[in-house]
Amino acid sequence: MSAPPVTSRVTEEAPGSARPVWWLVLKQELVELWVGGRVLNFLILFSILMSITAFLLATNNELSLVPLEQTVVVALTAAITFGLFIGLIIAAESVTGERERATLEPLLLTPTSHRQIIFGKFLAALSPWPATFALAIPYVATLSQGEPVLWPALFWGAVAGTILSIGFIGFGILVSIWSDTSRISLFVCLLAYAVSLVPSQLPTEFQDSPPGTVLAALDPVESAAQLLTKTVQDGSPLGQVWSYIVAPVVLTVLILVLLFWFAAPRLGLQAGRARSHERVPRTAEVSA
């Protein structure tokens, strides 16, 4: 037998349950994502891509084409990039999927703040990132060849990846709230993802120029990549590279404020239409 829909379980448990609604939403979302196999499929794809990337990097390293530290940075950057893709795809369908399955209305009728509903979905979409980073550790450890570069690489990779994941997942849920269909939401999210990767594909001459430096500091993904390069590859202290962490942090904070203080209370059955009340009117509860 298939698991009951998230909406029916939440609306049944919430009124008499001591647990907050966000926890019930999170629990059911985790069941659908992990037990349903969706995240596992993404992680298998992630492992394949990381295996190919690590093999190519190890080959270049053996041929002395790429320094050891740079190899580790490239592997970490690839792991973060793949991890962002997984989280963004899940977040992009978090609300529009409910609308298309006609399961959002019972969830909205739950006597709780809409922020709790979005918070539960946010944590569920964030859950693949720790697993993704954990899967990347053996690849990074192998490429580091036992050198001390491993530990600062893992530390700064975890910091940069977590900040970016929170921001990208928040952005994905924002787009999902404001989109009519999952196709539109996925298109917008993937377009934003592709744009964020453009600076790393620009010529090296431009990246080293003043405009390229400014662009790298403004683009969150490229800024995080530069942070890893400066701290792990070049060994620069934090006092010299703190500017590269500003863009990811500022963007993440702005997205979270926009998500939980503006978009979440206006969550409705149709994209872009605000609801007049966050909670079900007391008279409706009594009549029910």
**pTM, whole model, 2 decimals?**
0.87
Side chain identity at residue 192, one-letter code: A
Cα–Cα nearest to 86, from 116, 56, 49:
49
- List all residues 6 or more positions away from 191 whose beta carbon is below 8 Å from its beta carbon: none
Whole-number Å distance between alpha carbons of 207 and 187: 28
Tokens, residue 1: 């037998």
Q: How many CA atoms lie within 13 A of 227 on its CB side?
A: 33
Give Cα separations from 97 to 16, 53, 105, 113 (angstroms).
27, 32, 12, 20
Sign of CA dihedral 131, 173, 116, 16: negative
Inform me whether the pLDDT recorded for 286 exceeds 70. no
Side chain identity at residue 227, one-letter code: L
Q: What is the pLDDT of residues 132-169, one digit of tens each?
A: 999 999 999 999 988 899 999 999 999 999 999 999 99
Enclosing H/E stretch for 141 = helix 128-144
Of 2-11, 82-91, 100-109, 196-205, minimum mean pLDDT range: 2-11
Domain boundaries, the chain: 20-270
φ/ψ (deg, to 5) at 161: -65, -40
Cα–Cα nearest to 150, from 82, 225, 83, 68:
68
φ/ψ (deg, to 5) at 121: -70, -35
The pLDDT of residue 10: 61
- List all residues 6 or more positions away from 4 whose beta carbon is below 8 Å from its beta carbon: none
Inform me whether the pLDDT recorded for 280 exceeds 70. no
Give Cα separations from 57 to 72, 79, 132, 161, 277 (angstroms).
9, 13, 19, 20, 54
The pLDDT of residue 173: 97
Cα–Cα nearest to 284, from 117, 34, 109, 122:
109
User: Mean of the pLDDT values across residues 78-105?
Assistant: 94
> What does the longest C-alpha to C-alpha distance in the chain come to?
75
Inform me whether the pLDDT recorded for 9 exceeds 90. no
Q: What is the pLDDT of residues 220-274, one digit of tens each?
A: 998 999 899 999 988 888 888 888 888 899 999 999 999 999 999 999 888 765 4
Inform me whether the pLDDT recorded for 284 exceeds 60. no
pLDDT tier for residue 281 given thresholds of 50, 70 and 90: very low
The pLDDT of residue 128: 97
The pLDDT of residue 59: 85
Inform me whether the pLDDT recorded for 33 exceeds 60. yes
